[in-house]
């Protein structure tokens, strides 16, 4: 088992009816004016916006608003919001939305203290200074509500890169799973696949860490079981809540403890895919890449891949696990090949170059550009 440090200063407020508490939490943090950062307007349809505003008013918190963050959030929008944050006189940021909204808020929080925010992405150093970020999460998937990371796409340079550091933990994150009842089915599936990928990025590192391995297997099984249950009844609160809690655990330090930092090649490859085609949802991309990655790297440590096939999918050998995972993704209605994203064979080299350029090319097996091209070809028999 590998050494690790764990310090997670985010306060998580989890459960039904908890959005009403965001105002008092911001007040307790000593802030009287916030910039509310949001996406395309779904929070106005599902009552989240009204609940947030009522809570801000109750606690006499002033606010201004900025809208328009999109999935796979982009640098140009972050730069625009940094200007707005400066002009607003906000003392803290309040992200209301999914992972893209919270990640954008984190990037804004950093950008307020440096010349240009992209410098922080290029520097690849821990972020030590940022404006406090509060969040109300509306889609459980990325785990950003309780971690120190943010991912933004530089659309000019086609780079989907991340930043991380102690200043990026949200002060308080409110997760009310009941508001996720109105999410489209495919977004729930993408969230589940993103969560599963976070867990697997750590899991396959193995390292004689029985507690971490069995804990991560149990999280994977719970996600599969709860997603199946949600398919039968989208209004089942407990399925949403269990998925939401698993998504937070997957990337708040719990899943990864003792797992040597994880592998992250699948994330690197997926980022390269959605940098080139922003219509690819992160979770959907991971669902296509991960089984192909397993097929390609399995010989590096067959024991851990066999254990995964047995304990997560009830299979006998590695192939059973890969087949079961692809079948489950199909059953949930999600793509299992790159062809379904309209990715052409001619783009495979560009994607591989992009992934290598960012540097997240694996730890269990460090992948070359050629390795990544092989994986991309395995991911799409129809290419």
Ranges within 258-297 binding a copy of itself (CB under 8 A) = 258
- Candidate residues 92, 196, 226, 351; the one interacting with a copy of itself per rule CB under 8 A: 226
Judged by CB under 8 A, the residue of 163, 219, 281, 318 near a copy of itself is 219
Based on the shown chain and the rule CB under 8 A, indicate whether residue 113 belongs to the binding site for a copy of itself. no
Residue 5 or 299 having the CB closest to a copy of itself: 5
Q: Cα dist. 325→193, 224, 319, 322 in Å?
A: 10, 10, 10, 5
- CA–CA gap between residue 268 and residue 300 (Å, rounded): 19
> 185-203 and 237-250 are packed helices; what angle lies between their axes, rounded to 10 degrees?
40
Neighbours of 124 (CB within 10 A): 12
205 is an interface residue for a copy of itself by CB under 8 A: no
Burial 73-86 (b: 16+ CB within 10 A, else e): bbbebbeebbeebe
**Candidates 55-63, 250-258, 279-287, 297-305 — which segment interacts with a copy of itself by CB under 8 A?**
250-258
Question: DSSP for 111-131?
Answer: HTTSS-THHHHHHT-------
Query: Residue 346, interface with a copy of itself (CB under 8 A)?
Result: no
The yes or no reply on residue 257 touching a copy of itself (CB under 8 A) is: yes
Question: Which string of b and e fits 103-120 if b means at least 16 CB within 10 Å?
Answer: bbbbbbbbbbeeeebbeb
Q: Which of 11, 33 has the CB closer to a copy of itself?
A: 11
| Window contacting a copy of itself (CB under 8 A); options: 93-101, 249-257, 264-272, 372-380 | 249-257
Query: Cα separation of 187 and 181, whole Å?
Result: 11
Number of residues this chain uses to bind a copy of itself (CB under 8 A): 44
4 binds a copy of itself (CB under 8 A): yes
Catalog residues that contact a copy of itself under the rule CB under 8 A.
1-18, 177, 208-212, 214-215, 217-219, 221-222, 225-226, 237-238, 241-243, 245-246, 249, 254, 257-258
């Amino acid at each position: 088992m590998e050494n690790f440090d764990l310090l997670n200063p985010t306060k998580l407020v989890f459960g039904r009816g908890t959005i009403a508490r965001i105002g008092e939490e911001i007040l307790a943090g000593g802030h009287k004016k916030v910039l509310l950062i949001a996406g395309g307007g779904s929070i106005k349809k599902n009552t989240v916006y009204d609940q947030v505003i009522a809570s801000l008013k109750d606690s006499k918190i002033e606010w201004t608003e900025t809208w328009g963050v999109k999935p796979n959030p982009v640098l140009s929008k972050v730069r625009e919001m940094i200007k707005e944050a400066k002009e607003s006189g906000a003392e803290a940021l309040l992200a209301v939305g999914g992972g893209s909204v919270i990640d954008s808020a984190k990037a804004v929080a950093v950008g307020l203290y440096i010349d240009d925010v992209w410098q922080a992405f290029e520097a690849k150093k821990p972020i030590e200074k940022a404006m406090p970020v509060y969040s109300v999460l509306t889609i459980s998937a990325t785990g950003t509500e309780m971690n120190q990371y943010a991912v933004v796409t530089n659309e000019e340079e086609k780079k989907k890169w991340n930043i991380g550091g102690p200043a990026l933990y949200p002060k308080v994150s409110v997760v009310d799973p009941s508001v996720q009842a109105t999410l489209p089915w495919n977004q729930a599936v993408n969230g589940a696949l993103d969560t599963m990928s976070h867990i697997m990025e750590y899991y396959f590192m193995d390292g004689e860490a029985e507690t971490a391995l069995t804990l991560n297997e149990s999280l994977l099984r719970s996600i599969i079981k709860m997603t199946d249950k949600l398919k039968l009844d989208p209004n089942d609160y407990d399925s949403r809540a269990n998925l939401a809690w698993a998504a937070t655990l997957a990337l708040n330090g719990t899943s990864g403890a003792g797992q040597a930092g994880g592998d992250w090649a699948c994330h690197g490859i997926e980022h390269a895919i959605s940098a080139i085609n922003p219509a690819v949802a992160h979770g959907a991309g991971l669902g296509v890449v991960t089984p192909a990655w397993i097929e390609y790297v399995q010989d590096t440590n067959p024991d851990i891949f066999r254990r995964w096939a047995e304990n997560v999918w009830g299979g006998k050998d590695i192939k059973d696990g890969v087949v079961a995972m692809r079948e489950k993704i199909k059953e949930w209605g999600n793509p299992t090949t790159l062809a379904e994203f309209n990715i052409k064979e001619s783009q495979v080299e560009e994607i591989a170059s992009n992934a290598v350029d960012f540097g997240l090319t694996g730890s269990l097996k460090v992948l070359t550009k050629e390795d990544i091209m092989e994986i991309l070809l395995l991911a799409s028999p129809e290419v």
